[in-house]
Chain A
C-alpha cells in the first residue's frame, strides 16, 4: 500500500474510471449472474464518457423490466422511470421541452415492443430526437420468463409451456421501415461495435434505435440449453452475420442467424426542430384578433 494513503483511498484509486457514472447508493446491481444488462450498462458508459456529454445534458427515460434498471437507478443522471411501455412518449415530452438535452431511452423488448410497441413506431415516424437502446432478451425476464413478442417460434416459456405458436417481431427492420434516422442491431458479444454504434446514435440527430440482443440465462437461456452468460455469448458469436454478408445469403441460410450492423442512417427533418420552426414562423405571420380568427376558414 502506498505510503500516506488509507485502505479506502486506495480502493477509490483502483476504481474503474467509469465508476463515476454509477449511482453508488444503489450498488451492487440486482442483475442476475450472466445477465446481459451489465454489459449494456458498461457499453453505454463508454460513449457517454468519450463524448464528454455535459452531465446535466442527459436525461434517461425508462420503463418497467430488468433492462430499465440500467439507467434507473444505476446510471447517475437525471432519470425518469415511467409506467410500463411508456418511456418513449414520456421522453417525447421531455425532448420537446428541453431540446438541447440528449434524451436516452433504455428498456426491454416486453416494454418497448410488447406493451409499448405503438409508441415505438410512432416516435420513429415522427423522427423525434431520442435515442432508444432496446435490450432484447426474447423474454419477459423480470416476471419470470413469460412469452414475449420477440420469443422465437416453438420456444417453451412459462406461458407457452407447449411451445410458442406466434411469429416474433423483427424489430430493427420494423423501425427502419417506420422512418427512424438511424437503426442498428448488435449483440452483447459485439461490445466494441456496439459502443461505436451507441456513439453514433448519441451524435446523430433524429430517432436513433439500436436493438441489442442480450442474454437472460435465468428466464430464457436455461430453456434453450444456454444456462450461462458465456454460452449465450458464444452463440451470439457463432450465429451473427454482418448485414453486408447477409445480403448475399439465401433466406434458408439466414434461418437462426442474427443480422448485425447498421440497417439505416439517413438525414431527415427532426420533429422538435419542426415544432420550433413553426413557432418562429408564426411570430412573423400576421395574426388576427380573437378566437374568430383561428378557425380553419
Chain B
C-alpha cells in the first residue's frame, strides 16, 4: 500500500467521533453528548506505520447525498483522503450502516471502528465482529473511545483498510442490505428499561419534563453560585495574604502616587490597596479576572459540561421548541444560548448549527443583547448582590424580557419562516470524568489565554487615557443621555465604553463611581445590552458578515437605550 498521508474520520453525528479523534491524536477536541458539536473540521496527527499522517475529524453525516452542508463538506473531503476510518455506533448498528454502505461505494480504503462497544454490551446487544468483517469486506475494530478500549488496535490496523469494489446501490437496495447484515451479525437480548432510559423518556414528556427542566435549571444556578462564591472567597483570601504585601511594597517604592503608581497600583483608598476600587493594572487588573471571574467561569463550565455530557441539552431543546418558535427559532437554538451564558463568543459560533441565515441572525443578535456572559454575571452578582438579591433579579428579568421581546420582534419583521426541528436525542450517559475534565480545562485555558491579556491591556489604556483627561470630553459629549435618560453621573460613560473591551472590567469601573442601587441596575443593564465586547464583535462580523453585524449593532444600541431609559423611569 502507498504511504498514507490523510486519514478521514467519518461517521453519523454523535457517535463519539471527536472522542476517537482526541484518543488518536492526543488533541482534545471538544465533544458533548449531542449531535453537531464539530461544526468545523479539526485536524491532528496520527502515527500510521511509524509515520505521521494527518487525521481529519469530518463533521457527522448520515449519508453522502449532499442534502445538507455537513454532507457537502464530507463529500469534498473524500476526494482528498487516503483512508477513511468510519466510526459506527454499536448501539445503533443498522442506521449507522447507511453511511458505511455509502462509503464502501466510494473509491477509498475503509476501516470500521465499532464504537460505544461497552454500552452496546450493557444494553444486551451482541455483534459478531468476525462475521461483520466478512460481510463488509473491511476490517472492523470494536472500540470504546471514552475508556480508550480498542484504540491501539484501531491504529495498528489502519494500514489494513481495504477498498472493496462494490456496485452503486439504489437507496432501497442499501436499506435491504443493511437489514440483511444486521440480521446476520446482531442479536439483541431482551431486557428491561434501565433507570437512565426511563429518566430519558420522562424528561421529554410535557407534563413531567417541564417541572424537571425547571428543577434542573434552578439546581444548576444554585450549584454554580455556590461553587463560584466559595472559590471567590478562597481566591480573595489568597490575594490578600500573598499579593497585597508585594503590591504595598511596590506602591511604597513608586512613592504612593504619580503616573506609574496611578497606572499600575491605582488609587490608594485610605492608604490601602482596595482590589476592587483602586483600579491599577497590577491590582484590580489581576484581581477581577483571576479572583472574581475565574471561579465563576470554572463553576459554570463544570456544570454545563455535566449537562452536556449527560445528554440533557437536546431534551431541553425539545421542551423549549414551542417558545423558541415564537422567536423565529427552533429548540436547537437553546444550545448556543446556554453556551453564551459562559461566553458570547462560543455561543455565537454555535449558531452555525442553525439551518438558515435568518435564524442565525436572530439567534446571534439576541444572544449578544440578552445573554450575559459568566464574567459579566460574576461581577454583577458581586457588585449588585451587596444591595440585595432583588436588584440582581431585576437585571436578569430585564435581560430575559429583552431577549424574548427582541426575538419576537425580529421574527415578525424579518421575512421568512423558521424551519422545523429535526434532531436526534442521544441516550443519557453518565459523564466520563476524563472527557469532562479535559473539556473544562480547555475552556478555562481559553479564558486565561484570551480574556486576561485583554483585561490587562484594557486597564492600561483606560488608566493612561484617564491620566490625560481624554474621558472628560467624552463624558461631556454624552452627558445628556447619561444624566437625563439614564439618571447616571456623566462619568458612567467611561465604564460603558470600557465594556467594549471587557464587560467585567466595565462593571468593575461602575463599582468605583459610588452609584446607588438603582443607578447600578440601570448602568449594568445598559452595559450588558449595548455594544458587545470586542471579541464578540469580531466573531459577529465573521459569522454574520459585516452588513448583518452592523444591523445587529444598531438593534443593540436601540435596545440598550430603551431598556436603560425605561428602568430609570419605572424604578
A and B associate: no
Q: Which residues of B contact A (CB under 8 A)?
A: none
